Structure 1
Amino acid sequence: EFDYEKQSCKDIDECKTLQEACKGGMKCVNHFGGYLCLPHNARIIISNGEDEPTTPPTKLESSNTMSFCEFHSHSCFPDINECEFSNYICQFQCVNQPGGYQCVCPDGYQLQGTRMCQGTLQFLSKCEHRKQRIRVRCYINECETAHNCREDEMCWNYYGGFRCYPRNPCRECQSPSVCRGLPPVIVYKYMSIFSERSVPADIFQIQATSVYPNMVNTFTIKSGNEGGEFYLRRSSNVSAMLVMTKPLTGPREHVVDLEMVTQSNVLSYRSSSLLRLTIIVGPYPF
């Protein structure tokens, strides 16, 4: 699941989140992307690359190829492809390897840490460098350096530029007839994404701020999805996740209206609210 504080994906410990994940006296062992149910006397051993013993093992073993051996039959499952578990593992490209994965950067970039790529040449307009082919430090936050937004506008920085948006986008109704049928509440949100981001990708979660008993919430994409770039996946009765289904090329702006309808048949109650999400796609894949 996505960790919004660290801006990366973290593994879900099913042994803690699932009630009675393992039954029959088996113990639960969490691993990346899943979990195993093992006997309590089983052990997991990571080999150092030496030849495997010719005699059947007497305990659970997993080699450096991450092949998990079944305790009773000693048969092994294939290597786990970590790149298939999430689109957020690597910033650019994920390459599966025996027992793990490796993040690969395109030409002109070098790996910074284990997942992120940093430019080695001057690709952006604002890059500090000393020598050619030496790591540079690039930054694109024009809202902190220089912009031409008016006082009644806010500056929104995105990957590769900035845009000016009204500080107060709300407008008053001129007459009841003009606003008839419109949602009484519109919430404005803005977000930025890279160009050509891998898909499918969870990009935004919409959630009810208040929870009432006997209320049912439904979520729909009201407008802004004419090209079928998104769909809403219901997470619970009070939340849904906006999923991007097609890679978007920037610079580009998408305005997507997400509607939440709350109703109760018991109380004969129905209300709706609208979240207007502006998605700014940067011109670069980083």
Structure 2
Amino acid sequence: DINECDANNPCAQQCYNILGSFICQCNPGFELSSDRINCEDTDECRTSSYICQYQCVNEPGKFSCVCPEGYQVVGGRTCQDINECETTNECREDEICWNYHGGFRCYPRNPCQEPYVLTSENRCVCPVSNTICRELPYSVVYKYMSIRSDRTVPSDIFQIQATTIYPNTINTFRIKSGNENGEFYLRQTSAVSAMLVLVKSLSGPREHIVDLEMLTVNSLNYRTSSMLRLTIIVGPYAF
């Protein structure tokens, strides 16, 4: 038997001698062409649309996965959000950095608007000494949250709860504004809390502001209210 592989390797990559002949094989990432001698690149990206979470890039003999801006590749195939607030951001000293899926945003450390004054982090109070405040919610709390694009619905996304509980009072909750298209529903879960439910899927990137109000009435028919302004940042992708 003549070892064709040693004498004059006819194969493009791997040659195996067999009795009276030889066979060619290819390295991983390649496949044998129709002439049974040459090797052609295997386009792994065409074999499955699920091989990468975002985008597959074919290369000679291999492939790689890439992620969009604001994400990094983890485990070779999946995308993970980069927390720019922990690495680098352009927020000023009088702003807070809020990371969301795919990016970040800067919000003022003092979000209060006249006649409200800042009493603690993200909490604004309307002074009772100001006559204008009689017709306004006593306090406004600013909260921020991030959700992925096209989240499965219905989905519980945020709980609002009374911070101070008074005896002989009744609390009711409502969505005051930001629900013109009916994306949300507020379900009261107890005498002092309610759950905001996403009932219509939201696609990003977008920012959605919802005002949640708690009305409190006591046995003497004294009424007061407080508001939570929730900024929902919807990421650009479903991951």
* TM-score, normalised via structure 1 length: 0.54
Match of 1:169 among 111, 114, 118: 111
Partner of 2:151: 197
Shift of residue 134, structure 1, vs aligned partner: 3.3
Partner of 1:258: 212
Rg comparison, structure with higher value = 2
Greater RCO (CA < 8 Å, at least 6 residues apart): 2
Distance 2:79 2:190 in 1: 42
Shift of residue 140, structure 1, vs aligned partner: 1.7
Partner of 1:235: 189
Conserved 8 A contact 2:67-2:79: no
Partner of 1:134: 76
1:257 is matched by which residue type in structure 2?
D
What is the aligned-residue RMSD (CA, Å)?
2.5
**3-state SS of paired residue (1:235):** strand
Distance 2:213 2:51 in 1: 42
1:154 is matched by which residue type in structure 2?
I
Conserved 8 A contact 1:159-1:281: yes
2:66 is matched by which residue type in structure 1?
Q
2:52 is matched by which residue type in structure 1?
G
Conserved 8 A contact 2:205-2:236: yes
2:148 is matched by which residue type in structure 1?
F
Shift of residue 172, structure 1, vs aligned partner: 3.5
Identity %: 63
Q: 1:109 to 1:270 in 2, by over 3 A?
A: same
Distance 1:153 1:128 in 2: 29
Distance 1:144 1:263 in 2: 43
Partner of 2:167: 213
Match of 1:276 among 219, 229, 237: 229
Partner of 2:122: none
Partner of 1:182: 136
Structure 2, unpaired ranges of 5+? 1-48, 55-63, 117-128
Shift of residue 136, structure 1, vs aligned partner: 5.7
Shift of residue 147, structure 1, vs aligned partner: 1.2
Distance 1:136 1:244 in 2: 26
Shift of residue 221, structure 1, vs aligned partner: 0.2
Q: How many residues align?
A: 169
Structure 1, unpaired ranges of 5+? 1-104, 111-119
Match of 1:156 among 81, 98, 102: 98
Match of 2:66 among 112, 118, 122: 122
2:143 is matched by which residue type in structure 1?
K
Q: 1:106 to 1:272 in 2, by over 3 A?
A: farther
1:85-143 per-residue CA deviation (whole Å, 9 max, x = no partner) reads xxxxxxxxxxxxxxxxxxxx955239xxxxxxxxx7212334257xxx93466342111
2:162 is matched by which residue type in structure 1?
A
> Which 4+ stretches in 1 moved above 3 angstroms?
133-139, 174-180
Q: 1:182 to 1:163 in 2, by over 3 A?
A: same
Conserved 8 A contact 1:124-1:138: no
